[in-house]
Amino acid sequence: MATQSGWADHSQRRGQRPRAWSIKCLILSNFEAIPVTDPVGQPLGDRAAWWALVLLTATYTFSFIDRQIINLLVDPIRTDLSLSDSQVSFLQGLAFVLPYVILSIPLGRIVDRANRIRVLVVGILFWTISCVSCGLAKNFWQLGVARMGVGAGEASVTPASWSLLADYFPEDKRALPVSIFLMGPYLGAGLSLILGAEVVGWASGLGSIELPLVGAVAPWQLTFMLVALPGLVMVFLLPLLREPPRTEKLNSTNTRLSWGEVARYVWPRRGVFGAYLLGAPFIVLVLYALQAWVPSLLIRVHGLEIVEAGRYYGTIALVAGSAGVLSGPVAARWLASRIDPATAPLVTSIYSTCLLIPVLIGAGLAESLTWTLVLITGASYLVTFPLALFATGLQNASPNEMRGLMAGCYVLSTNLIGLALGPTSVALASDYIFKSTQAVGSSLALVGGVVLPMSVLLMWRGLAAIRRTA
C-alpha cells in the first residue's frame, strides 16, 4: 500500500465527497504519514473475513459474559462467603485486572510474531476452565484465584482480535467491522445480566443442587459453571479460520521489531498515541463502575429482585451500549465535514463526555425508579460513544508489527485505571465516605463527577498535541 499523503492533501479536497467511508477519514489517525510496505500475500475473500468477524465478536461477547456475570451475583456471593463490599469489589476489579493488564503487553508482542488464532484459542480454554473454577470456590481466596485465571485467559482477546481484524479487512472497509466487534462488551454485559438473571432464577428454583464429584452448590456457583460453556464452543470453531497474511508492515523482510525500533517509531508520534491511550481510561472507569454497581443500585435502593434488576439493566446495557459504540464513528464523520477533520474524533469524544457528567450524576441521585432507569440508559449510551474512535484510531496509527503491542498498551491503560479502579472506587466511597451500603447511587455520582472532568482534560491536552502534529 502506498504511503498516505496525510490530511494536507485531504484538506485540499474538502469540497469533494469521498467515494467510500474511509476509516482514515473517519478516525483520522494519520496525523503524520505512516510508512508501510505493499501488502504481503493476497487478502482473504469477503465471506471469510465476515465469518471471522462473527466468531471474533462472539468470542469477545462471551469473554465479557464470563467477566461481568459476577456483577449480578454480588449479593448472594457476599452473603454466602460473608464478604464486605470492598472484598467483593476486589473480586470484580483487581483480582481480574491484575493478570489481565500484566499479561496484555507480553501477549501483544506474542500476537505480533506468532499464529494469532492459536494464541486466542489457548486463552479461551484457560479462562473457560477458570470460570468453572469460580463456581467451585468455597471462600474468598479460592474465588480470587479463579478470577485471576479468568483475567489471564482473557488478556489474549483484544491484542489477537484487533490484529486479525486489521488484516481481514482493508483500511477503507475497516470502520464497520471494528464497530461491530466493539459491540462485544455491551452485548456481553447485557447478556450476562439478562441470561444470568434467568439462570439464577432457574437455579434458585431448584433449591439444593447436588453435582456429581462436586457436591452441593449454590445457585450463584452453578451460574458461573453454565456461563462458561460457550467458551468451549469457540475453542472448536476458531481453528476453522485461516490466519490472514500480515499487511501494512514497516518492513517486508523483518516481522519482529526490537523495543528500540518501537520506541523510535512511537516517540515522534507520542502526541497521537497519547491522545488515545490517555483519553480513554477514565471513561472506561465509569463504564465498569456502572456495570459493576447498577444492579446493586436497583436491588438495594429501588427494591428490585435480582432477576428484575438483571432484566432491566441487561436490556439497557445491551441496547444503549451497542447503540453508543455504533453512533460515535457516525458523529465523528459528520463533525469532520464541519471542523478540522484531524480533530473530529477527539472533539466528538469531549462533547459526549461533557454530556455524560450531568446524566451520570442524575442517575445516581434520582429517587424514582423510572428516572433512574431513564438516566442510566442515557449514561450507558454516552459512556460507550467514544470507544470505537479510540480503538480504530490506534490500529490505523500502528504498523502491523506493532498492532498487538499497541492493543496491549490500550488494554493496560484502560484496565489499570478503568477496571481496577472503577468498581473499587464506588465501593470505597460507599464504605468510607457515605458509610452505607444504600449509598451506592451517591457513590456512582461522586466517582463520575470526579473522574470524567479528568478525562475531558486529558483529551483536551491530546487534542492540542494532534493539532501540533497535523
How far is 360 from 376, CA to CA, in rounded Å? 7
Average pLDDT over residues 227-251: 84
* Number of helical H runs and strand E runs in the chain: 23, 2
Amino acid at 397: A
Domain boundaries, the chain: 41-248+261-469
**Is pLDDT of 237 > 70?**
yes
Cell 457436591 -> residue: 215
Q: Could you give the count of Cα atoms lying within 13 Å of 156 in the half-sphere of its Cβ? A: 23
Statement: the pTM of the whole predicted model exceeds 0.85: no
pLDDT band at 27 (very low <50, low <70, confident <90, very high): very low
How far is 104 from 108, CA to CA, in rounded Å? 6
**Is pLDDT of 69 > 80?**
yes
Q: Which strand (E) or helix (H) includes residue 91?
A: helix 85-92
pLDDT per position as a tens digit, 257-313: 777 877 888 787 777 787 778 778 899 999 989 988 998 899 999 999 888 888 898
pLDDT per position as a tens digit, 337-365: 888 777 788 889 999 999 999 999 999 99
Q: Which three cell numbers stand for residue 90?
A: 476486589
Range of 95-104, 240-249, 336-345 with top mean pLDDT: 95-104
pLDDT score at 187: 83
CA geometry: angle at 318 spanning 447 and 295, to 5°?
A: 45
pLDDT per position as a tens digit, 138-156: 999 999 999 999 999 999 9
pLDDT per position as a tens digit, 208-220: 677 787 778 888 8
Query: What are the CA-CA distances from residue 397 to residues 151, 275, 391, 435 (Å)?
Result: 27, 12, 10, 46
Q: Which strand (E) or helix (H) includes residue 233?
A: helix 229-237
Asked if 174 and 50 count as a contact pair (C-beta separation under 8 A), the reply is no
88: Cα separation from own chain's centroid: 21
Q: Which three cell numbers stand for residue 115?
A: 499464529
pLDDT band at 399 (very low <50, low <70, confident <90, very high): confident
Domain 41-248+261-469, CATH class in plain words = mainly alpha
Whole-number percent of the chain with pLDDT over 70: 85
**Is pLDDT of 459 > 70?**
yes
